[in-house]
Structure 1
Amino acid sequence: GTLVRIGGGDLRAIVVFLVLGVSALAAMRGLTGFLRVGLIEPLSLRLPETMSQGIDVLLSTVLGSYARPAVVSIAAVALAAWALADGRLVKSPRLLLSGLAVGSAVAFGWFATGWLGNDDFDPARVASLTFVAPLGNTVLYIATLSGSRADFAIGSVAGVILGSFVAAMFSHVFRWEACDDARELKRHMVGALLMGTGGIMSMGCTIGQGLSAFSTLALSAPLTMLAITCGARLGLEYTMTGEWRPAVRNLLRISH
Structure 2
Amino acid sequence: MIAPLLIGLLFGAIAAYSHFCTMGALSDFFLFGSTRRLRGIAAALAVALAGTALLAFLGWPVFGSGQSELPWLAALLGPLAFGAGMTLAGGCITRNLVRAGLGSAKAGLTLLVAGLTALAVTGGILAAPAAWLRRPAMVLALPPGLLTSAAALAALALAAWVLLPARKRGRARTDIAAGALLGLTVPLWHLLVAAGPLPPMPSFILPLGELLARWSSGPGAHAGALLVLGTLAGAALLGLTRRSHRFEGFADAGDLQRHLLGGLLMGLGGGLAGVCSFGLAVSGSAALLPAAILGTVALAVGCRQTLRVLEGRSFFSR
Output the TM-score relative to the length of structure 1: 0.80
Shift of 1:126: 4.9
**Shift in CA distance, 85/36, structure 1 to aligned 2, threshold 3 Å:** farther
Q: Is the 8 A contact 1:28 1:200 kept in 2?
A: yes
3-state DSSP of counterpart to 1:128: coil
Q: 2:212 aligns with which of 133, 136, 139?
A: 139
Asked if 1:30 is matched to 2:124, the reply is yes
Q: 2:191 aligns with which of 103, 111, 122?
A: 111
Q: 1:4 aligns with which of 80, 83, 98?
A: 98
Where structure 2 has 5 or more consecutive residues not aligned to the other structure, the ranges are 1-94
Q: 2:175 aligns with which of 92, 95, 98?
A: 95
Q: 2:153 aligns with which of 74, 82, 99?
A: 74
**Shift in CA distance, 68/19, structure 1 to aligned 2, threshold 3 Å:** closer
Equivalence map 1:1-256=2 (5 Å): 1-38=95-132, 40-42=133-135, 44-48=136-140, 51=141, 58=142, 60=143, 65=145, 67-87=146-166, 91-92=170-171, 93-114=173-194, 116-117=195-196, 124=197, 126-146=199-219, 149-241=220-312, 243-244=313-314, 247-250=315-318
Letter in 2 for 1:24: A
Name the stretch that deviates more: 197-206 or 226-235.
197-206
Q: Is the 8 A contact 2:203 2:278 kept in 1?
A: yes
**Shift in CA distance, 102/90, structure 1 to aligned 2, threshold 3 Å:** farther
Q: Is the 8 A contact 1:113 1:152 kept in 2?
A: no
**Shift in CA distance, 128/183, structure 1 to aligned 2, threshold 3 Å:** same
Report the Cα distance in structure 1 between the residues aligned to 2:263 and 2:306, rounded to whole angstroms: 14
Shift of 1:233: 0.3
Report the Cα distance in structure 1 between the residues aligned to 2:293 and 2:147, rounded to whole angstroms: 19
Q: Is the 8 A contact 1:83 1:89 kept in 2?
A: no
Where structure 1 has 5 or more consecutive residues not aligned to the other structure, the ranges are 52-57, 118-123, 251-256
Shift of 1:158: 0.4
Q: Is the 8 A contact 2:208 2:228 kept in 1?
A: yes
Q: Is the 8 A contact 1:10 1:176 kept in 2?
A: yes
Shift of 1:84: 2.8
Shift of 1:190: 0.5
Letter in 1 for 2:190: W
Whichever of the two has the greater Rg, that structure is: 1
Shift of 1:125: 5.5
Report the Cα distance in structure 1 between the residues aligned to 2:276 and 2:107, rounded to whole angstroms: 17
Name the stretch that deviates more: 85-94 or 18-27.
85-94
Shift of 1:91: 2.9
Letter in 2 for 1:219: P
Report the Cα distance in structure 1 between the residues aligned to 2:169 and 2:151, rounded to whole angstroms: 23
Q: Is the 8 A contact 2:199 2:224 kept in 1?
A: no
- Same amino acid, percent of matched pairs: 26
Report the Cα distance in structure 2 between the residues aligned to 1:225 and 1:156, rounded to whole angstroms: 22
Report the Cα distance in structure 1 between the residues aligned to 2:236 and 2:181, rounded to whole angstroms: 17
Report the Cα distance in structure 2 between the residues aligned to 1:164 and 1:89, rounded to whole angstroms: 29
3-state DSSP of counterpart to 1:47: strand
3-state DSSP of counterpart to 1:129: coil
The one of the two structures with greater contact order (alpha-carbon pairs below 8 A, sep at least 6) is: 2
Report the Cα distance in structure 1 between the residues aligned to 2:168 and 2:250, rounded to whole angstroms: 32
Letter in 2 for 1:71: A
Shift of 1:152: 1.7
